[in-house]
Structure 1
Amino acid sequence: MTFFLPFSTVARLRFGSASRIHIFALYRWNY
């Protein structure tokens, strides 16, 4: 459990930045 907590935090942070870049790429691609 001690290992899973930081891993989920890093994964969430990584997913957040990745989704933001993905949305930005989609916006640039459409316009």
Structure 2
Amino acid sequence: MLLRVPPIGQSFARSPTPAAAVVPTPTGHDGRLR
């Protein structure tokens, strides 16, 4: 699923809250697809 995302995206995916991976990351890119 979230294997192609950067390390920051992976950290969000590993978070207890799945929603964190859906919301745009502080970096400005989507942690889910982009």
TM-score, length of structure 1 as denominator length? 0.28
- Decide which structure has the larger Cα Rg and report it: 1
Larger fraction in helix: 1
TM-score by length of 2: 0.26
Higher relative contact order by CA 8 Å / sep ≥ 6: 1 or 2? 2
